[in-house]
Copies of this chain bind each other. A is one copy, B any other.
Amino acid sequence: MSNQELVVLGQIDDAGACCPGLLTAPLDESQAVELAKVFKALGDPVRLRLLSMIASRAGGEVCVCDLTPAFELSQPTISHHLKLLRQAGLIDCERRGTWVYYWLVPEMTDRLAGILTRPAGEPLPGRTAAAGAAS
């Protein structure tokens, strides 16, 4: 199975040592475009539920046959959502016989968590420091 999209999305972090740092410096346009694709994939309730079912599965992987019954949606619709999660680099899959098995790509969720985490020891930003600057 091709990991082409995963490789492209992996370049989000190649610009820096670890993460583009959403909270520490302004993102440039290309970083924002790549990162937005991943968040957009998470911006749907069905995809979030699929991802959480896959990520929390004991054993680490789930047959698509165990995902579909949880939703009142057709198999092609579920497959489409799974494809979008896979293209975003959040999950991967493998066909074995009749069924396709899915698993989390924890490196991607780790990256997103890192991007959204404030640097250690940084106080809460907000209105305190600059409030006096208003004219």
Interface 0/1 of A94-135, CB less than 8 Å to B? 101100010110100110111011100000111111110111
Chain copies in the assembled complex: 2
Chain B residues near A130 (CB, 8 Å)?
Answer: 59-61, 101
**CA gap between A114 and B114 in the complex, in Å:** 10
A73 to chain B minimum Cβ distance, whole angstroms, is 12
Interface residues in chain A, defined as those with a beta carbon under 8 Å from any beta carbon in chain B:
21-27, 29, 32-33, 35-37, 39-49, 51-53, 55-61, 70, 94, 96-97, 101, 103-104, 106, 109-110, 112-114, 116-118, 124-131, 133-135
Q: Which residue of B lies closest to A122 (CB)?
A: B106
Partner of A40, one of B32, B43, B51, B128: B43
For the complex of A and B, the 10 pairs showing the least CB-CB separation, nearest first, are: A40-B43, A59-B130, A39-B42, A60-B125, A32-B45, A113-B116, A39-B43, A23-B55, A43-B43, A27-B52
Partner of A53, one of B26, B44, B126, B135: B26
The answer to whether residues A101 and B60 also contact, given A26-B53, A44-B36, A118-B106 and a CB cut-off of 8 A, is no
Chain B residues near A131 (CB, 8 Å)?
Answer: 61
The answer to whether residues A23 and B125 also contact, given A29-B49, A40-B43, A134-B96 and a CB cut-off of 8 A, is no
